[in-house]
Amino acid sequence: MPFSRFARMPDEKRERLMIVAAQEFAANGFEAASFNRILEEAQIGKSSAYYYFEDKADLFCTVTQYCIDRLQLAPPDEEVSSLTAETFWSELARIHDQPLLRTLEQPWLFGVVRAAERLTRESLQRETLAQLARYLNSYIATNMGAMIKRGQELGLIRTDLPDDLLIAWFRAVDGASDNWLLAHLEQLDQEAITRISHQTIATIQHMLAPLV
């Protein structure tokens, strides 16, 4: 995490740094990203950077959290608990659409999250990055788990298999779809992204449906 004084960085300067760093990490991953290139593009001196961050890994963790917050990957708990049998799958499709549509305008948002998911074994030897990986895995699993639990309460999702297996299935299909969309983003418009997003949720719905 950044030093507490990072919160006192002027808003415009902080936002520019986050965007520049996010673009660099999304394009090159953590390992190949250039800390110096980020600072040069963001017009921040190296001594100033170390005033706010311990190192490149610290900056990467901060940028990853910045991107997660802006993607709004998880709905509030009260929104999940208010879902009904009639609204569950349509609302899940809408929730699934929103981060992807934000990515259409700012593709580096998802790119940073993907970079965090693909940290090398060597990078994960660093405790800062290992903590980030654990947080991200828990964040995704917890939110998918909450949706699955609500679907089970409504009788829409099967209960004959362990929840962690259902979460793994959900993540596998969702991740494959997101990877394809990110790889083809330049050829897609909002309508195409929404259609594929809804087809992804329909596939998950079919896969997780209770046995008849």
Q: Per-residue confidence at 21, pLDDT binned at 50, 70, 90? A: very high
Q: Check whether 4 has a pLDDT greater than 90.
A: no
- What average pLDDT score do residues 149-158 get? 97
- The answer to whether 151 and 208 have CB atoms below 8 angstroms apart is yes
Residues 165-206: tens digit of each pLDDT: 999 999 999 999 988 988 898 899 999 999 999 999 999 999
| Residue 47 pLDDT | 87
pTM of the model: 0.85
Distance between CA atoms of residues 80 and 87, nearest Å: 11
End-to-end CA distance of the chain: 49
Cα–Cα–Cα angle for 10, 15, 16, nearest 5°? Answer: 100
pLDDT, tens digit, 9 for 90 and up, residues 99-125 = 888 888 888 998 999 999 999 999 999
Where are the strands (E) in the chain, listed by range? none
Residue range 82-92, pLDDT digits in tens? 999 999 999 99
Q: Could you tell me if 112 and 118 are in contact, meaning their C-beta atoms sit under 8 angstroms apart?
A: no
In the 8-state DSSP scheme, what is residue 210? P
Q: Could you read off the pLDDT of 40-92 as tens digits, one per residue?
A: 999 998 888 888 899 999 999 999 999 999 988 888 888 899 999 999 999 99
Rounded Cα gap, residues 116 and 111, in angstroms? 9
Domains defined along the chain, listed by start: 1-70 (1.10.357.10), 79-105+126-212 (no CATH)
Residue 163 has pLDDT above 90, yes or no: yes
- CA angle centred on 121, ends 118 and 123, rounded to 5°: 80
* pLDDT band for position 9 (cuts 50, 70, 90): confident
Q: Is 110 exposed, middle or buried (0-12, 13-18, 19+ CB in 10 A)?
A: buried
